[in-house]
Amino acid sequence: MDPIYNFCAGPAMLPATVMQKAQAEMCDWQGLGVSVMEISHRSPEFIAMAKQTEADLRQLLTIPDNYHVLFMHGGGRGQFSAVVNNFLGNNGRACYLVSGQWSDAAAAEAVTLTGADAIDIIPVVEEVNGRKQVIIPSFDATNEYRYLHYCPNETVDGIEIFDEINSPWPVVADMSSCLLSRSIDVSRYGLIYAGAQKNIGPSGLAIVIVRSDLLALPALAQPAIMDYRLARDYDSMYNTPPTYAWYLAGEVFKWLLAQGGVAAIEAVNEAKAQCLYAGIDNSDLYINRVAPANRSRMNVTFALNDESLNAAFLQQAQAQGLLALKGHRIVGGMRASIYNAMPLAGVEALVEFMTRFASDNKA
């Protein structure tokens, strides 16, 4: 059977070896005769797995000891409200940088919860020579913000911010689609959160990495299951957590360590992105509208200069085992999400198809 390459933006493909192990352990985990989904989250076996998963993530990201790792409900979007509710009590204010659809959604959620007077929104994308480019402004340190929020990688828009933000306030980063894809200095952030369904595991789980001092900020009233302090105090088990997603995240972390860790996978991700962007740039049929400095390594967006060919492109790509290339409904065009689990061979197969399709459809 020819290989199938899944370019879905999320839920995204998982490493094949992780899926195979999960399949083998589906009905008999650790010799217990039952699935990990069927045992108590307070059992010794599950607690041991949970502790190892956190230890592996700490190793992968070199997380300092003064940061808590929380395994939360609600995915990335759930953290839009959790961040606000945990930190903006007692008339707190925050600054939101908007670089695309997801950072805009986070800012809108913050305004809904606190009112427009509490949230300053700064658009940071400009069009330069027909391409979208991120321009980070200088910040006025006299503003009394509890935090500055941004999204390093915009999955819909195909925009990535590689430079870390130099902010006079704690930086909160939505890394749902780029966490573990490249090296970062965790100590530069007040809080990092990520929905699992890109580079971590299945949907429904969110990883939160929060510096201890931020948990002393006054909170708003909120549901107990989204309270970071309760999650810290109860080891992310104030109530039943998403146990199977936690288990699969642990398996993905083991897989990533076996690849050589984040630095090793970053090199592979760079090679994949370079290969695909070269295939786009070297063709008259395809165009990417993001400045090279801000082109996402995880979500490569492109359009066909002749949009009447869109349907044929998608149909023929799927026939070749190249799935989920249709762009987000808001922006249209095409999108190839090439997260950690996507092998270089998958990107090479896509570029080969794109080159052949362009040749077959010359004007």
Residues known to be catalytic: 102, 174, 198
Q: Which of 35, 345, 359, 12 has the alpha carbon at shortest distance from 181? A: 12
Q: How far apart are CA 108 and CA 119, in angstroms?
A: 9
Check if the beta carbon of residue 337 is closer than 8 Å to that of residue 10: yes
Residue 145's SS3 state is: coil
| 3-class SS of residue 237 | coil
Q: Which of 272, 289, 290 is nearest to 337 (CA)?
A: 272
In the chain, what is the straight-line distance between the N-terminal and C-terminal CA atoms, in Å?
A: 34
**∠ CA(63), CA(68), CA(72), 5° rounding?**
115
Instruction: Specify the long-range contacts of residues 27-35, CB closer than 8 Å, at least 24 apart.
Output: 29/247, 35/244
CA proximity to 97, closest of 112, 119, 117: 119
